[in-house]
Amino acid sequence: MAVKIKKGDTVIVMRGKEANKGKKGKVIKVIPEKNRIVVEGVNIVKKHLKEIPNVREGGIVEMEAPLPVSNVMLVCPNCNKPTRVGFRISKEKKVLRKYRYCKKCGENIDLVREKQLRG
């Protein structure tokens, strides 16, 4: 299945902890095997790290924890509203193009894949 949210997208948290609801952030990392994403500045947890000599200091570090992809919605770059994402395939001459598009305003978000047709 195609990934509807990519690294670098701006998303808004719709469900989850009260402290995280409504927060916007940029996607830092996508973990498709676990259907999770890491969003900048959202779902901050404290992690206790052990010191490794000559590598890092030990102590308590604040970091972003992964969120389920189903708890966030993409913020459309065109209409600036939270939206569902769809895929659209267009054939132009001898090229097939697959786009992600906003289901609210209908505008293309970006190009996902391009394929040359033979013949």
Q: Is the pLDDT of residue 1 over 70?
A: no
CATH architecture under which domain 1-75 falls: Roll (2.30)
Q: Where are the domains of the chain?
A: 1-75, 81-119
Mean pLDDT of the chain: 90
**pLDDT at res. 52:** 93
pTM: predicted TM-score of the whole model, two decimal places: 0.81
Q: Is the pLDDT of residue 4 over 70?
A: yes
DSSP H helices in 39-117: none
pLDDT (mean) for 58-75: 93
Which residue is it, tokens 């195609």? 2
Which residue is it, tokens 């305003």? 105
